[in-house]
Structure 1
Amino acid sequence: MNLEPLDPTSLPAPVDVSDNRVALAAVDAVIDAGPYDATWDSLSHYRAPQWYRDAKFGVFLHWGAFSVPAFGNEWYSRTMYRRGTPAFDHHVETYGPHDRFGYKDFLPHFRMERFDPQAWAALFKRAGAQFVVPVAEHHDGYTMYDTARSRWKVTEVGPQRDVMGDLLEAVDQSWLVTGASSHRAEHWFFMNDGTTFDSDVRDPAYSDLYGPAMRQETNPTERFLEDWLLRTVEIIDSYRPQILYFDTGIETPSFEPYLRRLAAYYYNRAAEWGREVVINYKWESFAPGSAVLDIERGTMDGIRPEVWQNDTSVSRTSWSWVEGHDYKDASELVQELVDVVSKNGNLLLNVGPRPDGTIPEEEVALLEAVGDWLAVNGEAIYGSRPWVVFGEGPTAPAAGSFTDAAAAVYTAEDIRFTRMTEVGHEYVYGIGLVRPEDGRMRIRSFGSDYRLLDRPIVDVRVLGSREPAEWTRTREHLEVVLTDSELTGPGGAVVRIELAPAGPVLRTDFFHGLNI
């Protein structure tokens, strides 16, 4: 591929971020003035907002200069400097030696010339997403937003526009919740292989892009941590995202005091705005209860009392655009969504745009297929809460992170449950993961022998049908006959049962103190 290298004369001068005292004092002033202080004890009073617990489904976006080479995955900026890897060999064969054409030279070719933020927001809304979380900065150090702390940003190099700001504005205008994710923490070491041979990572003229490039075994220094904190504060103040997602790297011990300061700052800023916000974290980087746990490409083995999140992608290959994706199919995505929601989680589903600003047709189709399923069955998802059990059936997906490489092979016996309470009505939903070949959905947990239903069933319907369902309840199961139209599409059908109203509750406060 014949790409012109970066013209150094086109760059502005490096930004001096060596003295952070004034900016850090301003951060601490917000912490001192707000309801939260920078201690885990104070932060443990945080509660995830109802809007997030109700939302269930959002769209994640990995975009950036790594989509220009479109080789391997979004870690190309690291692997291209790792000798002996396919990415290293591909880079030399395609672009030449690393001292002549390095990662920086891809940045001008990330142009986003066909980017239409309104069209993206409309697509995400059709998909049924309730929130949108674009990557603000990946491990490569190139910001997708307009920052005052670096010249390596989309407003100066590449698109020449604030693509994240434009997208978040379109998302907000579409009445969806805006978010942003920071992957900056791993930049501490991300380019370090480029220091082991003659590459542009060694060139002092580009050290402000390639970062410290230290060994991974070392802990970040105070200067790097201060810069991480202030970059994140800048995202908060400039874009006011209601979701702030952190990738791995922040679990490094030296981050701990900075995470506390950041969380207190964000929660206090949100209190000033009159908004409720969410921090997503992985592993054990935040204290329990101080933010929302995220499991990457995975699930829980049961119902978690507190809301959590699974972030995954439409592809097993990469989070970003690459050639030759191994895409999941629409049924698998619906199954992931349903399994997560039944266990009190939300699903954040990633797509990866091309460098010209278009979303690949396959990924558009997958988002629209999920949206079509939700248009019929969203009643069982949005605003729902877990039932007594999360599900039934012979198939148990592997719990934990990074378990979606091999999809669980579900059967028509695999069903997940949610519940919904409205004024005067209580519903329980049996969500099939696969449509039965014989057209009869059998739900064992609704059988009379299992005694999981504490009241009689007064109505049974299949979502998407205007007519009451044909059903029979036995000791073994509830059997529902599905029509031809209910046997098509991704995922499975959803059976809604309505329970008889609960009986009157004795007002013990009325009788308190009476001699009866």
Structure 2
Amino acid sequence: MKKTQFLFLLMLVFCTGNALAQEHQMSKGYVAPTDPLVKANLKKWQGLKFGLFMHWGTYSQWGVVESWSICPEDEGWTQRKGPYSSDYNTYKKAYENLQTTFNPVKFDPEKWVKAAKYAGMKYVVFTTKHHDGFSMFDTKQTDYKVTSAKTAFSSNPKSNVTKEIFKAFSKDNFMIGAYFSKPDWHSEDYWWPYFPPKDRNVNYAPAKHPEKWQKFKDFTYNQIGELMTDYGKVDILWLDGGWVRPKSTIDTTVDWQKAITFNQDIDMPRIAAMARQKQPGLIVVDRTVAGQYENYTTPEQQVPNEPLDHPWESCITMGNSWSYVPGDKYKTANEVINLLIKIVSRGGNLLMNIGPGPDGDWDPVAYSRLQQIGDWMKINGEGIYNSTSVAPYSEGNVYYTKALNNNTLYAFYSSTRDVVELPSTITLHLKDISKIKAVTLLGSKQKLKWKLTNGVVNISIPANLQAKNNLTQAAVFKMSY
């Protein structure tokens, strides 16, 4: 993920640690896809609303930020720590040597599927390769990979981690997303050893050395081709590292893009054509590079104040870090559920990140959170899935969604505590609604009385439902019209 200072567009949760230093501004100039298969896949994805993101690599052994500690930039999230930190070259060598000790013997993707499915997640995006270049799949393009004989885990029958994850989640009908970093800080055709790396960008001028840049383009093309060929059905190609882009696409109003010196055109038309030939209908997400290869946008650690005019997804950490950090502070179930509600009320999806540890498993806290979220979703999920935003989107602590396929509105009465206490009357201001046929409270069989006057609905809450309703995090009122 890109790391820069940011303020939340909408302060819903408060994060600390390296997640606080991460921003991903939304691209300008969305271009809708025209391929009917891509459009159909994108529509399906928009209805899923809740996905699982996983950042995982050898860096989990040190419990440090993913990849960024080997980036020679003087930023808060790139700081080196530990016994090798005083010298960059020594540190980078030790970092890359983590390959030899990476041995996540508790890796069990079926366990993750079970937990994610119970929580109501419907798609998964996994980091097949982050910026450090370590491939979590059996690529033939490099030996810096999880299946290399140099890697301790390579003798394990599940060593092809990406294949095992995709296979396990596919069995339960999750849409499958392959995160792939366009920059590769291990590749000698990106960070050429002839020059020292200067920052996150390529360390030579591609225009001066076109043959070297072509080798890197071919390397990238071939790795993506492998992921599109040997790993079953892939629905989303989620490309990170937005500084690898044509120079003509740089937005100089965005601070981090001002530092892009060279034209780093990776030839997305060639990549996308090949990928979609192998995976018809593939959704391509070339993050921050507005145009025909950014099929949906991905605001990072933030939520738009209002609905966007195109498909989008907020990618947000469950803890404070994208990668595994011992003792990380995880968001409460209440925070995650209300974050999901707010995002869906704006018409977006939530991609929630959990970083597996060096042993190949999640922190027990993550499983506990997913259990609580699933308990809530089993009662209230109908207001989340296959919904769209509807004005006024929210008012106070109430958020609205509308079912795509029928005349049903949902009003989410959110709580700052796990226990929901309802007032004697809830007032909702609806637009363009002249008649309400029925109002029910999800999770309750008790009948409610309501009155609609000039678009204002007043729902009377019986005394026995106000404090002892057995509802948690948010109560959901279903209105048929």
TM class by smaller structure: 0.7 to 0.9
Partner of 1:442: 426
After TM superposition, the score normalised by the length of structure 2 is 0.76
Partner of 1:431: 412
Partner Cα separation in structure 2 for residue 137 and residue 64 of structure 1: 8
Aligned in 2, Cα 1:289/1:168: closer, same or farther, shift over 3 Å?
closer
Amino acid at match of 2:47: D
Partner Cα separation in structure 1 for residue 424 and residue 110 of structure 2: 42
CA contact 2:421–2:467 (8 Å) conserved in 1: no
Partner Cα separation in structure 2 for residue 91 and residue 184 of structure 1: 30
CA contact 1:138–1:182 (8 Å) conserved in 2: yes
Aligned in 2, Cα 1:80/1:111: closer, same or farther, shift over 3 Å?
farther
Partner of 1:342: 345
Aligned in 2, Cα 1:483/1:288: closer, same or farther, shift over 3 Å?
farther
Aligned in 2, Cα 1:83/1:343: closer, same or farther, shift over 3 Å?
closer
* Structure 1 unaligned residues grouped into runs of 5+: 1-39, 196-200, 205-210, 394-413, 447-451, 500-516
Q: Which of 287, 293, 299 is the equivalent residue of 1:282?
A: 287
Amino acid at match of 1:162: N
Q: Which secondary structure state, in structure 1, belongs to the residue aligned with residue 276 of structure 2?
A: helix
Aligned in 2, Cα 1:158/1:140: closer, same or farther, shift over 3 Å?
farther
Deviation string, structure 1 residues 317-367 (Cα, Å, up to 9, x no partner): x10111231322211111221111111111111001111111101111122
Partner of 1:416: 399
Aligned in 2, Cα 1:126/1:43: closer, same or farther, shift over 3 Å?
closer
Deviation string, structure 1 residues 480-502 (Cα, Å, up to 9, x no partner): 42454546423x11111111xxx
Q: Which of 432, 443, 447 is the equivalent residue of 1:468?
A: 447
Length, aligned pairs only = 411
Q: Which secondary structure state, in structure 2, belongs to the residue aligned with residue 292 of structure 1?
A: coil
CA contact 1:487–1:493 (8 Å) conserved in 2: no
Partner Cα separation in structure 2 for residue 415 and residue 190 of structure 1: 53
Q: Calculate the aligned-residue CA RMSD, in Å.
A: 3.4
CA contact 2:285–2:297 (8 Å) conserved in 1: yes
After TM superposition, the score normalised by the length of structure 1 is 0.71
Partner of 1:241: 234
1:287 CA displacement? 0.5
1:99 CA displacement? 6.9
Deviation string, structure 1 residues 431-486 (Cα, Å, up to 9, x no partner): 1222664544624314xxxxx14231111111112333344556665234245454
Partner of 1:495: 477
Aligned in 2, Cα 1:54/1:105: closer, same or farther, shift over 3 Å?
same
Q: Which of 100, 114, 123 is the equivalent residue of 1:122?
A: 114
**Which stretch of structure 1 is more off in the superposition, 163-172 or 229-238?**
229-238
1:175 CA displacement? 2.0
Q: Which secondary structure state, in structure 1, belongs to the residue aligned with residue 107 of structure 2?
A: coil
Residue 295 (structure 1) aligned with residue 299 (structure 2): yes
Aligned in 2, Cα 1:264/1:68: closer, same or farther, shift over 3 Å?
same
1:213 CA displacement? 4.0
Q: Which of 54, 66, 71 is the equivalent residue of 2:47?
A: 54
Amino acid at match of 2:56: W
Partner of 1:147: 139
Q: How does 1:71-150 map to 2 (within 5 A)?
A: 71=64, 73-75=65-67, 77-78=69-70, 87-92=79-84, 98=90, 102-150=94-142
Aligned in 2, Cα 1:57/1:130: closer, same or farther, shift over 3 Å?
same
Q: Identity over aligned residues, as a percent?
A: 24
Partner of 1:163: 161
- The structure number with the bigger radius of gyration is 1
Partner Cα separation in structure 2 for residue 178 and residue 382 of structure 1: 18
Partner Cα separation in structure 1 for residue 449 and residue 319 of structure 2: 38
* Structure 2 unaligned residues grouped into runs of 5+: 1-29, 207-212, 247-262
